[in-house]
């Protein structure tokens, strides 16, 4: 049975073309049905859609998420929603805040437990999204019209992400498996919204010991080819344990 007062929403961040993007969708109850386990859940979701016409509008976008079924763990369900919507299994996913203002959703008292996910765009295939009418990446600085308090949720997610990348090496999850130092720097610049000094950035990042030199280089670029690095998961884990200063 659906808990109609509780939903789970994911702010999915992706880093592509030197921009930070968010994945939004337009949901449709008929498509969601495949994802739900009982007829009853489906009927309840349908009622929620009927009461909120914005949910069906082609002009408004929403966060990927649904109401929480009573037989699902909160964290497990967030993961499941993300997996179904994106096809991705091993994703960095973090609960960051629960929103519960009284009128955040019209005609319904619902809290949403919000998560953010960091996605490596290499592995994201948008065709995998069987439960939505539309799914699309939007530049964080150029969001479309959104339903309810989605704007506020995204802004909060960005704020938390900004904090997190300064104290944890979480940002690596936004990059492809092999990346250049310039990509890494740009990612930090975009998230923190400030320019960084290239020489100092490289020194600092290389001193952390997180980088593994893959001995490969970019190819087919019209300039000196950059070296490709991957990052060392063991040292990453160790740094997370320690609690590190990642201020850049």
Contact 104, 149 (CB under 8 A): yes
User: Which of a second copy, DNA, none binds 224 (CB below 5-8 Å, type-dependent)?
Assistant: DNA
Does the protein bind DNA through residue 202 (CB under 7 A)? Answer: yes
Does the protein bind DNA through residue 203 (CB under 7 A)? Answer: yes
In our burial notation (b when 16+ CB lie closer than 10 A, e otherwise), range 24-60 reads bbbbebeebeebbeeeebbebbeebbeebeebeeeeb
119: closest CA among 83, 66, 154? 83
Q: Which is nearer to a second copy, 79 or 175 (CB)?
A: 79
Q: Is 101 helix (H, G, I), strand (E, B) or coil?
A: coil
Please, which of residues 180-199 interact with DNA by CB under 7 A? Answer: 180-182, 197-199
Q: Which is nearer to DNA, 55 or 211 (CB)?
A: 211
Q: Which of 1, 47, 126, 221 binds DNA (CB under 7 A)?
A: 221
The mark string for 134-173 relative to a second copy (x by CB under 8 A, - otherwise) is -----------------------------x--xx------
Angle between helices 198-207 and 181-192 in degrees, nearest 10: 110
Does the protein bind a second copy through residue 222 (CB under 8 A)? Answer: no
Contact 6, 110 (CB under 8 A): yes
Does the protein bind a second copy through residue 189 (CB under 8 A)? Answer: no
Q: Which is nearer to a second copy, 108 or 226 (CB)?
A: 108
Contact 171, 162 (CB under 8 A): no
Q: Which is nearer to DNA, 3 or 208 (CB)?
A: 208
Q: Any idea what the Cα angle at residue 137 is, between residues 108 and 44, rounded to 5°?
A: 25
Q: Which is nearer to DNA, 58 or 242 (CB)?
A: 242
Burial of residue 135, with CB atoms counted within 10 A of its CB: 0-12 exposed, 13-18 middle, 19 or more buried? buried
Q: Which of 47, 128, 134, 225 binds DNA (CB under 7 A)?
A: 225
Does the protein bind a second copy through residue 75 (CB under 8 A)? Answer: yes
Binding residues vs a second copy (CB under 8 A): 3, 5-6, 68, 70-75, 95, 97-102, 109, 111, 113, 163, 166-167, 243, 245, 247
């Amino acid at each position: 049975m659906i808990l109609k007062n509780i939903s789970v929403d994911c702010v999915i961040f992706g880093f592509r073309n030197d921009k930070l993007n968010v994945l939004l969708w337009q949901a449709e109850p008929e498509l969601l049905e495949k994802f739900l386990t009982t007829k009853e859940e489906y009927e309840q979701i349908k009622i929620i859609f009927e009461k909120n016409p914005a949910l069906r509008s082609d002009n408004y976008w929403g966060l990927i998420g649904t109401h929480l079924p009573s037989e699902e763990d909160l964290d497990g369900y967030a993961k499941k929603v993300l997996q179904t919507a994106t096809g991705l299994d091993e994703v960095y996913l973090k609960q960051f805040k629960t929103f519960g203002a009284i009128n955040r959703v019209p005609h319904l008292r619902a809290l949403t437990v919000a998560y953010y996910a960091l996605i490596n765009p290499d592995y994201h295939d948008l065709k995998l999204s069987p439960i939505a009418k539309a799914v699309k990446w939007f530049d964080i600085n150029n969001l479309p019209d959104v339903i309810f308090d989605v704007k506020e949720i995204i802004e909060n997610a960005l704020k938390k992400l900004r904090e997190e990348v300064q104290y944890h090496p979480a940002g690596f999850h936004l990059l492809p498996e092999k990346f250049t130092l310039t990509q890494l720097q740009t990612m930090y610049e975009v998230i923190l919204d400030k320019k960084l000094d290239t020489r100092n950035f490289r020194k600092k990042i290389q001193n952390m010991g997180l980088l593994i030199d893959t001995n490969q280089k970019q190819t087919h670029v019209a300039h000196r080819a950059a070296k490709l690095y991957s990052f060392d998961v063991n040292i990453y884990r160790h740094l997370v344990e320690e609690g590190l200063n990642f201020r850049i």
